[in-house]
Amino acid sequence: MIIDGVTKSIEGNLVLEDVSFELKPGEITALIGRNGVGKTTLFSIIAGMYIADAGQVAIDGYDLRKYPALKKNIFFLEDNMNYFNSYSVKAVVKIYKNVYATFDEAFFDMLMERFELPKKARVMSFSKGRKALFFMILAFSLDVRYLLLDEPMDGLDVIVKKQLLQFILETVADRNTSVLIASHRLDELEMVADRVLVLKGSKLELDYYLETLRDAALKIQVAFKAKHIPDFVKQESELLQRNGRIYTLLVTENVDDFVAQIKAEEPILYQEMAITIEDVFTIRLADDKIDYYEI
């Protein structure tokens, strides 16, 4: 799927501007951004619920607006599915079986049993977490090529959430599904995402693969003998966190040279750390930058 130059204004406010990226089979792509940045609007355009002012969404080279039958390849799991509250599980399944010919009922039954959800129940009888779990099971049972998940695990307890994240990894690999997922819980995305899209303002700020970033960049904790912070540190790295005289830094360019300069300072602490999605969020999207306050 190709999202090409998508632009959208709502009530005179520019929400998305020239957003372009590709969703590939077998990949889990995390979509992150501040609240209200346009993530749900982007989901709605991809799913065909909103019409973009400019640009297009295409599957196999075909514009979804001109070939609406291609929407059968997409399912958008919204963060609020309350309009199904009065329905029974059986009724919801019947609706989606009629819409999606790919619906795998045996797979659905297996998952309902695996996660101990009753099939003879009304959706309104489920707790918030169990309802979220039910719709996640439904989404993956449709066996579509593209799944759009907007805050899908809200309300799930920690144990079920871990089980579900592992299930997502297994199913995406097995069925070659492409998943675009948004969540305010960056630690959850960290467990499953291959790739991260960063929306800032109305534009796509960053598109990167986690492994590529980790190969090319470095996160370190360092503390210097002197109170003064070397100028090259301020100029050539991003400050993620400060705890007293311990500084957590992200270096994205000329990593080897930077490390050599750091070690030449003979720091009292030097530790390399794993780069996380939260680090990228802090650098790209945080309102207030942390200051190098030299104690």
**Tell me, what CATH number does 152's domain have?**
3.40.50.300
85 plus 47 within the same structural domain: yes
Asked whether residue 291 is domain-assigned, the answer is no
The total number of structural domains that make up the chain: 2
Residue where a domain stops, chosen among 154, 177, 211: 211
**157-172: average pLDDT:** 87
145 plus 25 within the same structural domain: yes
Is the per-residue pLDDT at 226 higher than 70?
A: yes
Q: Is 156 exposed, middle or buried (0-12, 13-18, 19+ CB in 10 A)?
A: buried
Identify the band that residue 294 occupies on the pLDDT scale cut at 50, 70 and 90: very low
Domain that holds residue 251: 217-285
104 plus 25 within the same structural domain: yes
Q: What is the pLDDT of residue 129?
A: 85
157 plus 280 within the same structural domain: no
8 plus 144 within the same structural domain: yes
Q: What is the pLDDT of residue 183?
A: 87
Residue where a domain stops, chosen among 211, 243, 261: 211
63 plus 83 within the same structural domain: yes
Structure confidence by residue, pLDDT tens digits, 120-139: 999 999 988 888 889 999 99
37 plus 149 within the same structural domain: yes
N residues, the chain: 295
Tokens 């912070």: give the residue. Answer: 229
Identify the band that residue 285 occupies on the pLDDT scale cut at 50, 70 and 90: confident
- Three-state SS for 216? helix
182 plus 228 within the same structural domain: no
Closest CA to 42 of 202, 282, 208: 202
Q: What is the pLDDT of residue 79?
A: 80
Task: Enter the tokens of residue 240.
Answer: 């993620």
Tokens 């969703």: give the residue. Answer: 23
Asked whether residue 235 is domain-assigned, the answer is yes
224 plus 204 within the same structural domain: no
203 plus 230 within the same structural domain: no
What lies within 8 Å, CB to CB, of 114 at 6+ separation is none
Structure confidence by residue, pLDDT tens digits, 80-133: 788 888 999 999 999 999 999 999 999 999 999 998 999 999 999 998 888 888
Please give the share of the chain, as a percent, with pLDDT higher than 90: 66
What pTM does this model have? Answer: 0.86
Question: Across the chain, what does the average pLDDT equal?
Answer: 90
Asked whether residue 290 is domain-assigned, the answer is no
Structure confidence by residue, pLDDT tens digits, 30-77: 999 888 889 999 999 999 999 999 999 999 999 999 999 999 999 999
Lowest mean pLDDT across 7-21, 161-175, 274-288:
274-288
